[in-house]
Amino acid sequence: MYKIGFSKDTHNFKLGNGFNLGGVFIDCKKSVDAYSDGDVVFHSVAESIYGALGMEDLGYYYSKKNKDKGFNSICMIEDTLNQLHKKGYSIVNLDLLIELDEPKLNNYKKVIKENLTKILKLNEDSLSVKATTTEGNEKNLIRCYSNILIKNEGEK
């Protein structure tokens, strides 16, 4: 059986010295205003997996009540992948769209994709990392949309 999940994660920017995106540090004069490390890629991917599995939203599993401030979102992805595999599923395809005005991601998209293919154990042709802007309409935010296709590992 195939299942589809979709999610979006959004955070505001504040002055800072960089932020994580798909586990890759983006060196700039902004940081993400978030309780966790604010990695919108990891958050969106995790929630899209939960959605495909028919589970709760991300806040149900990772609220302020059960995590320390600033926690690394790689833990979230690892937990989510454990749930995915425990239920007998694997990722077939993942399509990501990261939306922000600055900084530009042209020099980071390939590295983000390489990091995600390792973490998620995907072939490069099963993952798309795209970036777009808000055309200056929402300069102080970063958003990631993710669409995922998963498959029951017992099926051909």
* pLDDT tens digits along 78-117: 999 999 999 999 999 999 999 999 999 999 999 999 999 9
Range of the domain at 77: 2-152
- pLDDT for residue 61: 84
CA-CA-CA-CA torsion sign (137, 57, 117, 128): negative
Number of domains in the chain: 1
- pLDDT for residue 154: 76
Checking if the pLDDT of 156 tops 80, the result is: no
What global pTM score does this model have?
0.93
* pLDDT tens digits along 120-149: 999 999 999 999 999 989 999 999 999 999
Q: How many CB atoms lie within 10 A of CB 114?
A: 15
Q: Residue 92 sits in a domain of what CATH number? A: 3.30.1330.50
* pLDDT tens digits along 32-73: 998 888 999 999 999 999 999 999 999 888 876 556 655 688
Amino acid at 127: L
> How far, in Å, are 25, 33, 59 from residue 62 at the CA level?
22, 16, 5
Length in residues, the chain: 156
48 within 8 A of 148, measured Cβ to Cβ: yes
